[in-house]
Amino acid sequence: MVALLASSARAALRSGASASFKTGAAGLTIARGKATLPDLSFDYGALEPSISGKIMEIHHKNHHNTYVTNYNNAIEQLQEAQAKNDISAQIALKPAINFNGGGHLNHSLFWENLAPKSAGGGEPPSGSLAQAIDGTYGSLDEFKNKFNTALAGIQGSGWAWLVKDKQTGQIGIRTYANQDPVVGQYQPLLGVDAWEHAYYLQYQNRKAEYFKAIWEVINWKAVEKRF
Amino acid sequence: MAIQTHSLPPLPYAYEALEPVISKQIMELHHQKHHQTYVNNLNAALAAQVTATQANDVRTLISLQQKIKFNGGGHINHTLFWKNLTPAGTPENDVIKVAPSLRDAIAARWGSHEGFVKAFSAELLGLQGSGWGWLVSKEGPRGQLEIVTTKDQDPVVKTDVPVFGVDMWEHAYYLQYLNNKAGYVEGIWKILNWAEAEKRYTSGVENLLKL
C-alpha cells in the first residue's frame, strides 16, 4: 500500500519543471507538479438541452475544481509524510487520495466523452467498438438500455462505466461507488456521472430522464480512441 | 399471506416552515418524491419477499436483502429526519430549555455545545458521497454519545439510539445551496428539534417508524 501511494505521488509530480502537459487517455492537465482543472473543449451551454449550462458550469468550476484542490492538498501531505517516513500517516491519506484523485480522473474522462451535437455528440460508434458493442449486447440500443439500468441501480453517489477488461479484451458495464476510479483490471472507455449534482438542477428526482438525454451528447469518437 | 404496507408519514410542519434554511421546493421534492420512492420500493421488495418465501426461493430472498436495506433504510432515515427538525425560533429549537439531559451529556463528552457542533459539522462535511451524519446513544437510552456517519441509506445499527440525523445526500440541499454544503450544515442547527432529540436520548425509540 505504501509503495502504491508513493507511486501515485511520483506520478503526480512527474511533470517537474515543465509548465503543463497533457497525458494520453485521461487528458489530465498537470502543471508544475500539481493537478489542475482541465479546460472543456466546448462552452458550458453547448450540451443543452441534455445538460443545462448552469449544471455544466457549477460541475466543472466548483465540483471538479474542489477535487483538484483537495487532491493536491492530499498529495502535499503525502510528501510530508514520506519525508518523515511516517507510514501510518501515508496510509491514512489513502481515502482522500482515492476520493479526490478519483474525482479528478473521473470528471476529466467524463468531459472528454461528452460533445455537443454540432461536434458529433450522439453520433453512434463505428468500427471495432461498434462491433464489440453489437457482439456483446446485440445492438447499441440494447447496450444503452443495460447501461441505463446499471445507472438507475446505483444506490447513492457513483458512476457507471463501459470498460474494457485488460485480461480478456472484453467490454462490460460496471458501476463504481462515489469517486472510485476505474483502475486495475479494467480500462475506462465511457463514463456517466450519476451523482445528484450532475443532474439535479435540471431533472431533480427524475434521473431516468437525465440518463436518457445524455446519449444525445455522448462523444463516441473519444470512446473509440480509448478502446 | 397479507403484509402490512408502509406509507409516507405526513410532515409535522408545513413544507415552507423550515425556510429560509430549507426551501419549500426542496422539502416538497424530498418528501413527496424521494421519501415516497423509498416507501414504494420497500413495499415492492417486501411483497417480493413474501412471494419468494412462499416459493422457498432462497436465491431471490438473498437478492432482496440489499433492496430492503437501501429502501427500508431510506424510509427509516427520512422518518427520523423530518421529526428531528423544527421551524427556526420554535421552543423545540432551544437546546438550553428543552434538552437538559442531552445538553449536559454533550457538554461532558465534547467540552461544550460549540465543541460538539464543530465536531459534528466536520464529520458531515467529511462524508465522501451520499450518506447521513448521526448523533447516537450507544447501546440504548442515556448511553455513551457518539457521532457516526452512515453511507447511502444505511440506518444506524439496531443497538444504538439515533438521537438525531442529518441528511447529506445532495438532494437534501442542492437546489438551494449548490456545492456550498457548509452553508446547509450551518443552517441545520437553526432548525434542529432538540426536544425530539432529548426524548430519544432519554427514552430511546421503540419503533423507528412510529415516532
Do A91 and A165 share a domain, yes or no?
A: no
- Residue A114 cell numbers, joined: 461528452
| B3: confidence class by pLDDT, cuts 50, 70, 90 | low
Domains of chain B, each with CATH number or no CATH:
24-83 (1.10.287.990), 91-203 (3.55.40.20)
- In this complex, is the C-beta atom of A79 within 8 Å of any C-beta atom belonging to chain B? no
Nearest beta carbon to residue A157 from set B29, B34, B129:
B129
Do A83 and A187 share a domain, yes or no?
A: no
Do A98 and A128 share a domain, yes or no?
A: no
- B107: burial class by Cβ within 10 Å (0-12, 13-18, 19+)? middle
- The predicted model gives B133-151 an average pLDDT of 98
- In this complex, is the C-beta atom of A154 within 8 Å of any C-beta atom belonging to chain B? no
Do A73 and A144 share a domain, yes or no?
A: no
Q: Give yes or no for residue A83 having a pLDDT over 70.
A: yes
Q: Give yes or no for residue B25 having a pLDDT over 50.
A: yes
- In this complex, is the C-beta atom of A66 within 8 Å of any C-beta atom belonging to chain B? yes
Do A168 and A107 share a domain, yes or no?
A: no
Per-residue pLDDT tens over the stretch B85-99? 999 999 999 999 999
Closest chain B CA to residue A63? B179
Do A8 and A83 share a domain, yes or no?
A: yes
Nearest partner of B210 among B1, B24, B3, B4, judged by Cα: B4
Single-letter amino acid, residue B94: D
- Are B15 and B33 within 8 A, CB to CB? no
CATH of the domain at A84: 1.10.287.990
Rounded to an integer, what distance in angstroms lies between the CA atom of residue B188 and that of residue A166? Answer: 47
Domain that holds residue A214: 118-226
pLDDT of residue A20: 40
pLDDT of residue B207: 80
Do A110 and A139 share a domain, yes or no?
A: no
Per-residue pLDDT tens over the stretch B69-78? 999 999 999 9
Do A147 and A174 share a domain, yes or no?
A: yes
Per-residue pLDDT tens over the stretch A87-144? 999 999 999 999 999 999 999 999 999 999 999 999 999 999 999 999 999 999 999 9
Query: DSSP E strands: which ranges in chain A?
Result: 21-22, 29-31, 34-36, 158-165, 171-177, 186-193
Distance from the Cα of A210 to chain B's closest Cα (Å) equals 15
pLDDT of residue B209: 80
| A9: confidence class by pLDDT, cuts 50, 70, 90 | very low
Do A148 and A183 share a domain, yes or no?
A: yes
Rounded to an integer, what distance in angstroms lies between the CA atom of residue B199 and that of residue B145? Answer: 14
Rounded to an integer, what distance in angstroms lies between the CA atom of residue A190 and that of residue A174? Answer: 10
pLDDT of residue B22: 98
pLDDT of residue A29: 61
Rounded to an integer, what distance in angstroms lies between the CA atom of residue A32 and that of residue A18? Answer: 6
Do A141 and A211 share a domain, yes or no?
A: yes
Q: Which residues of A touch B178 (CB under 8 A)?
A: 58, 62, 201
Paired strand residues for A161 = A174, A191
Asked if the Cβ–Cβ distance from A200 to B170 is below 8 Å, we say yes
CATH of the domain at A216: 3.55.40.20
Show the CA angle centred on residue B112, arms to residues B111 and B117, nearest 5°.
115
Number of domains into which chain A is organized: 2
Domain end marker among A85, A115, A145:
A115
Q: Give yes or no for residue B113 having a pLDDT over 80.
A: yes
Domain end marker among A115, A144, A170:
A115
Closest chain B CA to residue A62? B179
Paired strand residues for A174 = A161
- Residue A218 cell numbers, joined: 455522448
Do A82 and A156 share a domain, yes or no?
A: no
Rounded to an integer, what distance in angstroms lies between the CA atom of residue B125 and that of residue A124? Answer: 41
Distance from the Cα of B106 to chain A's closest Cα (Å) equals 28
- Is the reported ipTM for this assembly greater than 0.95? no
Q: Report chain A's mean pLDDT, rounded to a whole number.
A: 90
Q: Which residues of A touch B37 (CB under 8 A)?
A: 205
Rounded to an integer, what distance in angstroms lies between the CA atom of residue B192 and that of residue A199? Answer: 29
Domain end marker among A115, A133, A162:
A115
